[in-house]
Structure 1
Amino acid sequence: MCRHWYRCSVGEAQRDPRHITPADCIAQLSSRTLHRAERRLRYGLCSFAQYWSYDFARIDYLLRHSEKWIQQKERSTLVDGRIKNIQIRCWRVWDLYANRVVPSWATKKTPLGISHTWMDKRDRVDVWTPINRREWPVPIPKDANLDLIRIEMLNLGAEYAWLDVLCLRQEGGIREDLRVPEWKIDVPTIGWVYRNKAVVCYFCGLGRPLRLEPGYFGSDRCWFKRAWTLQEISEEMVISGETRSDGTLAEDIQSRFRIQLASLQQMRGSHLVFDVLSEMKTRKSTKRLDLVAGLGYILDLNYDDSRSEEDAWAALVYAMLEYSRENLLFFYPEPGDGSKCWRPS
């Protein structure tokens, strides 16, 4: 075996082959193997650098070009202070492989939307994380973990995801001056993430297990009662946080859960304005404005948190499709008591 692999020098060949020990053979073999591996590594690195050298040399140009594209996109999106087209991508996505928030133009892949109900303020904590470069605090439940959420999304086969607390600039960040102008575009177009796409839902809070205990549907923090989750309903809902039955999921609660979810999916598919308005009427929000703004992507609206709900409603009616306005005109049973008689206030 050694004689087959071992190649000796001229001086060594003059020696008695019986003097060649196994240790000499292994040392020579190891030396040659490492040398060949090093050559292959150098070749591989050179090939990699040659392939990517074009982009590396132009990286500054590409970054400036991308920033200019974003500015042009923002100017073309807002016309007279109103959003011209709500069918636009979100600004940021969560790169699950790199575990960081990146601009959406960095990939053409569609992110996996994550829907969740926000916990009460006393039950959540603000986390400063390198995932978003610590640009703003990330509010999550006290018993939640972003790393575990990431693992769960990776197990579902996702490469990119959209999570509001990570991808939408939150209050209290180091650049609070950027939040208001960003929200004018980001908030009304959130629905793009969830429309006709798979949506992962945490019904009991972000990153928390699914525990539908008695009283769940009566809580103001119930996923089915929050204003913003109305636009996050999709035909393909992935129920996250499911665990083996531990006695917390009573049969009647499970049945009600499935029925309500199916009913909401049917409502979203119908696109009937009165069905949507009736559903929103029963929901809760931190700001009353959000009851109107939560209809933004469904019925098309701009978001300005300085408005009253009546101003927001007027803007919503103005921005509705003609079909929806006709429904309000012909099917609402009584005159409006606001500034317009033909529609409800």
Structure 2
Amino acid sequence: MQMSPDDLFITYGTHYVARAFIGGRADANSAISSTVFSDTQKLEIAATMSYAGLRGSLSVKDRTTNQTEIDTFNMNSLRTSSCVGGDSSLEESVLNGPDDFKAWSATILGQPELCDFDAQSLKGIWTLCSDPARRTALEAAYRKFIAYRLQYQMINTLEPCGNDQGSGANGDVSFFRPQPASLVQAGYYWVGHYAQGSYGDLQPKAATMIIRPHDNQPGATAPPTGWVQVWGDHGSGRANDYSLWAPIPPTDYRALGHLARFNTSNYDAPSGAEVDRFVCVHKSLVTEAVAGDPVWNDKGSGSAADGAIWRAIPADADAGVASGTFYATQGYGTPPQPLPTVYCLKRSAVDNVNA
């Protein structure tokens, strides 16, 4: 079966290295006061000739013609050097003169390294396709793929949106979400509730993520197509109803968090103002998430089914950004790892507005 363009890019990347320079490279950097040379052209000539002299490639004619400028440059410049490839123990002396440069050069064949690329080094993965139609389709898909980028903020100006008081559960939990008015004004969207294992005010270090497409580029986000109930306190006999919900993302989109409907009068799916500006994100922008610390479970509620809440965190903290959201489960056991329906944003695909 032929992979979709997005799956191909996510699995193998969008480009490959078609060519590279392997061997050795010596870099020389010189700094000199602008008052030493009043003529820019003479400075350029002196620098070029000085470097050629270090390499042993300066002709007798060039040395004789430009000796004064070369000496002035060498006496007044601050020079630093670095090498890639060859014997690293010779790096300090490689630009001391022709003999030292040649001694280092002689070691490159036995100790080559990747030392440079050029304009033709990086090629799109679609150039490997033998089928012209597939090649054209992949290149077009790539342009769309790279257009998806997000800005995000972690905020703690959240409003309460429910708690488990009256549920009968042994533990306590409260839920918070970003304030809708602030989202609309700045063009942001939200991705899940923040769950706190206590009642009362939001804890000082609590925060959840809000996102917006970079340059208002469409396609990076999309609202869910529906909701599926993960857990409800059916059979508990409580006066109010308590339920946990997972969004159903559109094709090629992923969710970053789940929602709670606690202390309500029904088990209806989230709707209307409850989910205004809630979005999923394109799959090219996410990386795997795992279950972090448990936040709450319904033990003691008398519900026919068991339910629990876990923090959603990146499987790789260097690759992903925690959203401050939760993952809901039916049952008390540790969720499957990685999480099957909640993801984290990929650091390489987002910009942190807080930074």
Q: Tell me the TM-score normalised to structure 2 length.
A: 0.23
Identify, as 1 or 2, the structure richer in helix: 1
Q: Tell me the TM-score normalised to structure 1 length.
A: 0.23
